[in-house]
Amino acid sequence: MRLFSLVCAALSLAATAAPVDLPSLFDKRALVKPITEIEGILSDGSKATVYKIVVRSLPHDHAMGPWAPATLQDKGGYWEDTVDKKFYRVDADYLKILNQRGWNMFDADGTVHRTKDRTEFDKVARQELAGWTYEQAAKDGVTNSVIELQPIEQIVTIFLPKNPKASEAVTPLRQAKFSPRSGLGISTNGVRFFPPEPVHRITAFKNIAPLDPKGGHTGFGHEYHYHRAPSVMDNDKSGKVVGFALDGFPVRGPTEADGSAPQKLDSISGHDHDGLGYHYHVSHEWPYIVGGFKGPLGTAVLGDADICDATKTGGNGGKGDKGGKGGAKGGKGTPKGGK
């Protein structure tokens, strides 16, 4: 009798458990210190045990860049065109397409127009965030340029629920209260996931801000972040966990473990099958990483801190991404940039 109940307990555990051991999955080189557990407050006001993950914000498992080609002979990063929606390598062919539309992306000698230093990069932030017109930016800003900057390393602490729980309804990105610091979550290499790139806001100034071959670039806070997961850019078919959303649920690669396409994804790119527990899948289509959240959120702060209160970090002081909150405003299939 006793044996029987033990077997039953074991069986029910196997049916419900989501066997993802978060601390073991992180790149140790990204961690400033071992991952610990503390008590925190999630975005819905509930108390919960959270993982405290202190990371160096630059990847240790791949190189960054290129973003802008220096000349027409070079190849830059990748950019989703706002007119035909194709994902282009930024090279001579693509820059010529832009020039055919009346842009001015390179000189007669083949030198490509790009942000040359931090001052110019910060001008882009100012003109985009302050809602300048193209005419204003053409006079005192940066237009007709490929936007790029080498990112700086930042120490960031991200708090994720240890036992993610589903809310009554999913929260779409445009309603979610995540901060520019936290982004949507974090890759296991310590780099944060950001909302879809606000491509329309960038092209309003005849600029483009390409992603590198791993899906990342530098944001207005000078941090490196992903708009597409490296596993998508690499066409990885292992289906392994590549990171965690801010609600603590795992984010998997673009396929299932057998290489097949994920089936019956919900409106935020997640589902639950085969005893894996709820998880998201990244892809080349909107929302690229996650389209919202299944459960209440953790948060992130700059530096190494012990206070996890996700109800108080909505603004969090960051200049944020070129996307910021606005990047989350795209509807399904239309990654529009907002303000």
Which residues on adjacent β-strands are paired with residue 241?
A: 252
Q: To which residue do tokens 């389209």 refer? A: 291
Is 326 near Zn ion (CB under 5 A)?
no
Nearer to Zn ion, 44 or 266 (CB): 266
Among 308, 321, 324, 330, binds Zn ion (CB under 5 A): 321
Task: Please say whether the dihedral angle defined by the alpha carbons of residues 298, 302, 308 and 311, taken in this order, is positive or negative.
Answer: negative
Nearer to Zn ion, 219 or 287 (CB): 219
- Residue 130: CB atoms within 10 A of its CB come to 10
Query: What whole-number distance in Å separates Cα of residue 180 and Cα of residue 188?
Result: 19
Number of residues that bind Zn ion (CB under 5 A): 4
Is 262 near Zn ion (CB under 5 A)?
yes
Nearest distance from C-beta of residue 65 to Zn ion, angstroms: 14
Is 320 near Zn ion (CB under 5 A)?
no
Query: What whole-number distance in Å separates Cα of residue 211 and Cα of residue 81?
Result: 12
Q: To which residue do tokens 């919202």 refer? A: 292
Q: Which range touches Zn ion (CB under 5 A), out of 22-30, 46-54, 285-293, 321-329?
A: 321-329
- Full DSSP string of 218-252: E-TTS-EEESS-HHHHTT--S--EEEEETTS-EEE
Vertex 44, ends 41 and 48: CA angle to 5°?
Answer: 35
Is 212 near Zn ion (CB under 5 A)?
no
Q: Which range touches Zn ion (CB under 5 A), out of 124-132, 158-166, 181-189, 215-223?
A: 215-223
Q: Which range touches Zn ion (CB under 5 A), out of 65-73, 92-100, 212-220, 299-307?
A: 212-220
Query: What whole-number distance in Å separates Cα of residue 272 and Cα of residue 240?
Result: 14
Is 223 near Zn ion (CB under 5 A)?
no
Q: Which residues of 184-198 are buried (b: 16+ CB within 10 A; e: fewer)?
A: bbbbbbbbbbbbbbb
Nearer to Zn ion, 158 or 308 (CB): 158
Nearest distance from C-beta of residue 257 to Zn ion, angstroms: 9
Nearer to Zn ion, 48 or 188 (CB): 188
Contacting residues toward Zn ion, per CB under 5 A = 219, 262, 321-322
